[in-house]
Structure 1
């Protein structure tokens, strides 16, 4: 402290205006700011890189839901499956993996509401099998473009514009570690080369639309409360949708 006092006295002595300098020091010794001057009034120049401010607009996403009665459903020619059995499906996956690597698949979550309850549109095959509309991507195909193509092929008419399908957000990623049915919402620690990635997207429907359903499918609207914790009836992927969708705010539009 003594050394600091000596240095300050030396500065005052050597200053061209010792009285003014001494007054300024007395004003700043208590708080570091001149008396009667707010620290908030001082501006600083940052010559470093300028980073954009954070955007929190996605923290509370609002999704418009329209009544099921707003939509019209028709039929079109049946769409044959690529594989005639589960065994054939995984054999084809194995052969394609050897040539092109991991398969990439996309699936669409299409939402409507009935009595202000969210419903998911599912394709039903037979009496007990349900799946989301979706399919496999080409080797270099973009995920969003591929999903729009698949939706138009599956549920659209010949003149259905791809603009009808507005891809809003990613819902989840599921991974298939091996050439067999189990999929997980993570890559198991012992797996270094998963065989398939399935990405789920939330697709915003327009207020009115026409769905052309292949004759070998049924398009059903399943309420979220029916899917919740019901992996026995719908499988773990579809049964997890209520949890994955709970982060959105739903706006229930009238007819």
Structure 2
């Protein structure tokens, strides 16, 4: 004798009714799990040079002191970073910016108070990677692919807000940036 498992959507009471209705479920567009991301060879891109960009702070301690002062004025810092992917030798590679001889980072930075995340990332990408000849680039910002939270004025960041933290100090979002098939950028 075989037993047919119950249809899980019909279990519970009352049958066939969602316990919370739509009260706690955000209505968002459905995730597309089978979407294509176009990766192009690194050789399709030409990188020029710009005047070097410097960090706002001279040390890590100075950075956290500035973060502490800004937190008192505007609250939690919001930062965005762009993940740009190319392929080389048929393997995906993430493009990073090199600062000095030993430090690498994703392009991005701090948002202005009230600034939209996607528009802010486009602004930052243009400042950091934009062309010198003034031609505007059309940055294609696709999805948020990561969230990192800084609970204190210290280096560690976590992909979640620790349970005992009520006021995180920084929220960093990582976005996938689709590159055009061929492009010229300045680093």
TM-score past 0.5 threshold: yes
Following TM superposition, by how much is the alpha carbon of 1:127 offset from its aligned partner in structure 2, in angstroms?
2.7
Task: Report the Cα distance in structure 1 between the residues aligned to 2:31 and 2:152, rounded to whole angstroms.
Answer: 38
State the match for 1:161 in structure 2: 136
1:66 aligns with 2:40: yes
Contact kept, 8 Å, 1:144 with 1:167, in 2: the verdict is yes
Counting only pairs closer than 5 Å after superposition, residues 36-185 of structure 1 correspond to structure 2 as: 58-158=32-132, 159-163=134-138, 165-185=139-159
SS in 2 for 1:62: coil
Contact kept, 8 Å, 1:111 with 1:121, in 2: the verdict is yes
User: Which structure: greater helix fraction?
Assistant: 1
Over aligned residue pairs, what C-alpha RMSD do you find?
Answer: 1.5
Q: Moved runs in structure 1, 4+ residues, more than 3 A?
A: 54-57
Contact kept, 8 Å, 2:40 with 2:86, in 1: the verdict is yes
Following TM superposition, by how much is the alpha carbon of 1:80 offset from its aligned partner in structure 2, in angstroms?
2.1
- Number of aligned positions between the proteins: 159
Following TM superposition, by how much is the alpha carbon of 1:95 offset from its aligned partner in structure 2, in angstroms?
0.4
Contact kept, 8 Å, 1:109 with 1:200, in 2: the verdict is yes
Following TM superposition, by how much is the alpha carbon of 1:140 offset from its aligned partner in structure 2, in angstroms?
1.1
> Structure 1 unaligned runs (5+)?
1-53, 214-255
Following TM superposition, by how much is the alpha carbon of 1:211 offset from its aligned partner in structure 2, in angstroms?
1.4
Task: Report the Cα distance in structure 2 between the residues aligned to 1:66 and 1:154, rounded to whole angstroms.
Answer: 21
1:189 aligns with 2:163: yes
- Cα displacement string for residues 102-131 of structure 1 (whole angstroms, at most 9, x for unaligned residues): 000000000100122100000122232111
Task: Report the Cα distance in structure 1 between the residues aligned to 2:64 and 2:91, rounded to whole angstroms.
Answer: 37
Task: Report the Cα distance in structure 2 between the residues aligned to 1:178 and 1:161, rounded to whole angstroms.
Answer: 38
Q: Radius of gyration: which is bigger?
A: 1
| Equivalent in 159, 162, 177 of residue 203 of structure 1 | 177
Task: Report the Cα distance in structure 1 between the residues aligned to 2:103 and 2:125, rounded to whole angstroms.
Answer: 19
Task: Report the Cα distance in structure 1 between the residues aligned to 2:77 and 2:29, rounded to whole angstroms.
Answer: 34
Question: What's the TM-score, normalizing by structure 2?
Answer: 0.81
Question: What's the TM-score, normalizing by structure 1?
Answer: 0.60
State the match for 1:44 in structure 2: none
Task: Report the Cα distance in structure 1 between the residues aligned to 2:176 and 2:69, rounded to whole angstroms.
Answer: 31
SS in 2 for 1:104: strand
Following TM superposition, by how much is the alpha carbon of 1:57 offset from its aligned partner in structure 2, in angstroms?
6.3
Contact kept, 8 Å, 2:130 with 2:137, in 1: the verdict is no
